Amino acid sequence: MLTRVLLALVSLTSASVIADTPVPFGVRVQPLASMPTDPAPAQIDADLLANVDAAEQAVISMEQRLGPYHPDLTAPLVDAAHLATQSGEIALAASLYDRALHNARVNDGLYGDQQLPILRGLLDLYLVSGDRAAFEERAAYQFRLLGSGVPPFETGELQAALEFFDVSLDALLDVAWETRGRDVLRLHDRFESMTEEVCADQSVNRDWCEPFTFRLGRFYYLLEYKLDVLVDDPRFESAFRDTEWQSLEREPRLDVLQRRLFGQGEKLFEALLTVDADNPAALSALADWYWFYRKRDRALELYRQACALRRTVSPSGALPEHPKLAYELAFQERPIR
């Protein structure tokens, strides 16, 4: 697996360290030292396995007695799935959660709230098992279930959107984008428009504009890092004709996207400052963006403003070495020792 060595851009980092670093800034990372080591093989409790079998048989008996889609089946299915998860029966647990989810949809409607705790169980299960594709699929479904990011916004919808965007960004870090063109463009358009709407909505922007802005900012850094490679390919114009990458003017959409990134990022962080003008993190983020594009005089001015607002910031200093970092523990392959 391609090892990702990413740097989290922090405020007031010295110029000698970040001047020409060719990696995307602003991506959330997890130090390898903080990752737990593989535990000793777990000893499965025989009583727990017996309980799983008993719960599964109880569900089968209820289905035979009440029918396959009776509303009373949902809770026993979830309980059995929870027991299967505890016993390490991942495939069985996923199957039981899926059946519970389908049963809830049949009885409570396609957009019923009864699906939410079941989805949460599935997401936690896929996170533990490291099944990123399944996690992506269910996170996207949860996002749609809670409104697809369309106002009026509610807390659950916004939290689900952040979770969906997080896992989508993680998935794009180490795949070839030529094979996921529609995914990249669709995610960009949805992510950008929702962030603009959240930051413009006075009922939620004080609490939610910052997390959406910073996530979209990370996406912009990733776009700049990835699109340089693709757009500068001299074979692009002659060999890459897929219309999904083209705008209505028939220009490659990747090229259009890259050329507007600096202005879009500047506009993004300035919008956050209109919501909270005295936010040192927002000032630092805008300064980081200017520094990334080598507009260092403007960046240093903003860093000084951020320091004046946040006196607890320690002086900058050179890093002794590039730390080895990883993003999401659940989706990493463990090295063979």
Q: Could you report the per-residue pLDDT of 233-270, keeping only the tens digit for each?
A: 444 444 444 444 444 443 456 667 778 889 999 999 99
Positions in the chain whose pLDDT score sits under 70: 1-50, 149, 174, 179-181, 227-255, 311-337
SS3 state at 246: strand
Q: Which amino acid is at 224?
A: E
Count of C-beta atoms within a 10 Å radius of residue 41:
6
Burial class (CB in 10 A: 0-12, 13-18, 19+), 19: exposed
Widest distance between CA atoms in the chain:
75
Strands of the chain (E only): list them: 30-31, 325-326
For residue 122, the number of C-alpha atoms closer than 13 Å in the C-beta half-sphere is 26
pTM (2 decimals)? 0.63
- Eight-class DSSP state of 68: T
- Give residue 164's pLDDT: 82
Q: What is the pLDDT of residues 104-158, one digit of tens each?
A: 888 877 777 778 888 888 888 887 787 878 887 888 888 777 777 677 888 888 8
pLDDT value, residue 160: 82
pLDDT value for 41: 42
> What letter does residue 326 receive in the DSSP assignment?
E
Superfamily of segment(s) 15-331: Tetratricopeptide repeat domain (1.25.40.10)
